[in-house]
Structure formats: C-alpha cells, structure tokens
Amino acid sequence: MTRPLDLAGPSAQRLPRPAPWRKHVWPLLCIAPFFVLFLVFGVYPVVFSLILSFQDWNGAPGQQQWVGLRNYAELSGDRYFWSSLLNSALIFVLHYPVMTLGGLILAVILNENRLRFQGLWRALIFLPHLTSMVAAGITFRLLLEKDSGLVNRALGSLGLPAVPWLDNEWWARVAVGLLLVWAWTGYQMVIFLSALQTIPSEVNEAAVIDGATRTQLFWKVTVPLMRPALIFVTTLSVIGTFALYTEPQVLTAGGPIHSTTTPTMEIYARAFGNVRYGYGAALSYVYFAVVVVATAVQLRLTREEKR
C-alpha cells in the first residue's frame, strides 16, 4: 500500500479520512444496545403476550393450548375485571382535580417573587413524592385506621364522627385518592412552577393594568398559558391511575369488596395467583386498549378546550 500524496498541505493531512465506520458503523453501535434489549425485553414480550392471549397456559412447558377467542369471551363477562377499570376511573375522578388544582395554586403562590424560603416550601411539599409507596401505604393504613387512627382521633376531637376510611367502598376509594394527592401534588407543583417561569412577566402585568383581579388573572391568563403542562400531567395521571398497583395493594389490599382493586392487581391475580397466563395476557391487552382510548379522549378534550 502506498500512502496517498499529500497535496493539500500539512494542516489538511491531520483531518480524519471519512472512514465508513465513523459515519455508519459507530452510530449504529451507539444505538445497538438499546435496540437489542428493546427487541428482547420490549417487542418480544408484547408480541408473545398477544399470542398468549389466545391460549390457555399454566406455565408448564409444552402445555399451551390454543383456545381462540375463548379468553376474550370469558373476559367480556368478567365482572371483577370491568369493575377494576371502573375503580380506576373513580379513583381518578376523586383525586385528579384536587391534586392538579392544588398543584397549580401552590405553583402560583411559590412563583411570587416576594416570597421567602422558596426552596424550603418547595422541598417540603415535594417530600412525599420521594417516599416509596410501600412505606407511605403502611403509614396511611395506620393513620386512617377506624378506631385508633390519628385522622379519626383528630376528627373526634373536633366533634366530628369517625370515618370508615378502609371499611367502606366509597371511603376506601377516597383513601386511595388521598394517598395519591399526598404523593403527587408536589410533583404537579414542580411541573407547573417550571412552566410558569417561562411566562414573561409582561403578560401578567398587562392583565393587571387592564384591571384583572387575582382570580381572573388565574383563570383567564395563567391556566390557558399552562395548557402544555396541564396536558402533560393529565396524560400522565390518566395512564398512571389505570396502572396503579402498589398504593391500593398496600393500603387497602384492593378491598373492601373489590372496591379498590385496579386492572394491574386483577391481571396479577389471574396470571400469578390463578396461574392462568393466557387469560392474564388477554386482560392486559383489553386493558391496553382501554388506556389508549381513555388517553385519546382526554387529549381530544384538552385540544378542544383551546377553541
């Protein structure tokens, strides 16, 4: 091999030659780990799950049985599965408005320049979000205990009756909602706070000069400008509430009378409790479809609000 003639002078000689591996092989090597793992632990399970949903299988090798649509037929009459979807929807309705409005109001307050100890307030309100939901679930379980729980004792000292937090179907859903409000309001607040900081102060000043009250300013200026952040947290909350597992599992164990059982708990029970992998897979696919529809509806609604 002869070296190529140096025609361009000494500085050009130091430029790297356009080796194909720099341009094509190296970038593919960069993204390869992700895609290899994604194929094995992402694509394969999702496809396998769809096939499994047409089968009966207790996990023993060679025992798979093709049953066609039988799992789906059974599922259509599965009261517990459908009520688990309804439970998620109810828990969403119970906690989402409180958490989101609360987060937004707190963000507006903390966005106030004159406020002292901004970092301290923010950290304190964000603190619950760091807690593992197992630890929080156990703590709330004791706090909401009917007879000895701190919350009912506090209500009692105010002359209010004890609330059957974990013993009544509706109160149990409220209890799960309460835990979610506690864990997520600080997160919402941080999202809104960073969104608020992108609003130029002139916008608020103009509104104030036009005579807007604080309430008007909040609903007519701040909320519309928060739309991207609102859509983000709403999408996340819809998906997150349907995916709930740890909170109701530790706080209420899904009870009483299945009132706080969520789809993920139901899928877990069928697949690993009853050892019916095919049926569990069918449930997970219907669950997926419901979440896709719910998310699409939610995005549609938030888009239309704009007009």
> Site for another protein (CB under 8 A): which residue of 86, 93, 123, 297?
123
Structure tokens at 55: 């089968």
- Of the pair 66, 272, the CB lying nearest another protein is at 272
Pick the stretch among 80-88, 93-101, 140-148, 163-171 that binds another protein (CB under 8 A). Answer: 140-148
Range 167-196, binding another protein (CB under 8 A)? 182, 185-187, 190-191, 194-195
Range 96-115, binding another protein (CB under 8 A)? 102, 105-106, 109-110, 112, 114-115
Measure the CA–CA gap between 276 and 246, rounded to whole angstroms: 22
> Site for another protein (CB under 8 A): which residue of 1, 15, 304, 306?
15
Measured from the CB of residue 271, what is the shortest distance to another protein in angstroms? Answer: 5
Q: Long-range contacts made by residues 138-146, C-beta under 8 angstroms, separation at least 24?
A: 138/250, 140/175, 140/178, 140/179, 140/182, 140/251, 141/166, 141/250, 141/251, 141/252, 144/175, 144/178, 144/251
Only one residue has tokens 């103009």, namely 206
Measured from the CB of residue 215, what is the shortest distance to another protein in angstroms? Answer: 11
Amino acid identity of 85? L
Q: Find out whether 85 and 260 touch, Cβ atoms under 8 Å.
A: no
Range 40-99, binding another protein (CB under 8 A)? 40-42, 44-46, 48-49, 52, 59, 61
Non-local (6+) Cβ contacts of 244 within 8 A are 88, 91, 176, 262, 264
Measure the CA–CA gap between 124 and 12, rounded to whole angstroms: 59
Range 265-294, binding another protein (CB under 8 A)? 267-268, 271-272, 277, 280-281, 284-285, 287-288, 291-292
Range 206-225, binding another protein (CB under 8 A)? 208-209, 214
> Site for another protein (CB under 8 A): which residue of 69, 86, 101, 124?
124
> Site for another protein (CB under 8 A): which residue of 56, 70, 128, 216?
128
Measured from the CB of residue 79, what is the shortest distance to another protein in angstroms? Answer: 20
DSSP notation for 115-152: -S-HHHHHHHHHHHHHS-HHHHHHHHHHHT-TTT-HHH
Measured from the CB of residue 77, what is the shortest distance to another protein in angstroms? Answer: 21
Using CB under 8 A as the binding rule, whether residue 250 contacts another protein is answered as: yes
Measure the CA–CA gap between 42 and 31, rounded to whole angstroms: 15
> Site for another protein (CB under 8 A): which residue of 175, 238, 264, 294?
264
Q: Find out whether 264 and 284 touch, Cβ atoms under 8 Å.
A: no
> Site for another protein (CB under 8 A): which residue of 90, 107, 172, 233?
233
Using CB under 8 A as the binding rule, whether residue 9 contacts another protein is answered as: no
Phi-psi category of 256—alpha, beta or left, where left has phi over 0 and alpha has psi -120 to 50? beta
Q: State the number of binding residues for another protein (CB under 8 A).
A: 104
Structure tokens at 107: 């963000």
